[in-house]
C-alpha cells in the first residue's frame, strides 16, 4: 500500500509540473481568451490515459505498479479530465449510454456551477 501511494504521489507531482510547464508554454505562444492550454492539456491527457490503458491491458493485465505511477499519478496530476474521459469511455463501451450522457451533463453543469458558488463564497472568507 505504501509503495502504491508513493508511486501515485511521484506520478502526480511530475504530472502537475508538466501541466504547469504546458500551460506556461501555451500562454507564451498563444495569446487568446479561449482556454487553449487547458483544452490541449485535457485532450492530450485523455489521449495519454487511453494509450496507457490500452498498453497495460495488453501487456500487464494485473495491477502493475506502472499503472499507478502513470495513470492515477501522472495523468491525474496532469489533468483530472483524463479520468473523466476514461470513465465515460468505459460507460459507452459497456453500452451504458444514458448513464454516460447523464454523467457528462451533470459533470459539466455541476463543476461550472461549483466554480461560481466557490467564487461567490470566497467573498465571505
Contacts of 70 (CB under 8 A, 6+ apart): 11, 48, 52
Question: Is 76 labelled a binding residue?
Answer: yes
88-103 residue pLDDT tens: 898 999 999 999 999 9
Classify the C-alpha dihedral 33-42-18-114 as positive or negative.
Answer: positive
pTM of the predicted structure, to 2 decimals? 0.74
Q: Binning pLDDT at 50, 70 and 90, where does residue 33 land?
A: low
8-21 residue pLDDT tens: 999 999 999 999 99
Burial call 90-99: b when 16+ CB within 10 Å, e when fewer? ebeeeeeeee
d(CA 76, CA 73): 5
Classify the C-alpha dihedral 49-50-52-57 as positive or negative.
Answer: positive
Task: Please compute the mean of the pLDDT values over residues 19-48 and round it to a whole number.
Answer: 84
Q: Is the pLDDT of residue 78 over 90?
A: yes
Question: Is 80 labelled a binding residue?
Answer: no
Amino acid at each position: 500500500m505504501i509503495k502504491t501511494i508513493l508511486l501515485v504521489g511521484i506520478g502526480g507531482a511530475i504530472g502537475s509540473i508538466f501541466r504547469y510547464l504546458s500551460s506556461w508554454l501555451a500562454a507564451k505562444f498563444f495569446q487568446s481568451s479561449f482556454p487553449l492550454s487547458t483544452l490541449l492539456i485535457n485532450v492530450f491527457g485523455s489521449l495519454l490515459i487511453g494509450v496507457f490503458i490500452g498498453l497495460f491491458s495488453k501487456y500487464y493485465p494485473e495491477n502493475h505498479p506502472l499503472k499507478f505511477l502513470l495513470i492515477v499519478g501522472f495523468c491525474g496530476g496532469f489533468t483530472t479530465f483524463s479520468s473523466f474521459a476514461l470513465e465515460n469511455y468505459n460507460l459507452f463501451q459497456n453500452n451504458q449510454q444514458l448513464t454516460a450522457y447523464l454523467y457528462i451533463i451533470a459533470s459539466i453543469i455541476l463543476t461550472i456551477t461549483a466554480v461560481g458558488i466557490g467564487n461567490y463564497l470566497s467573498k465571505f472568507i
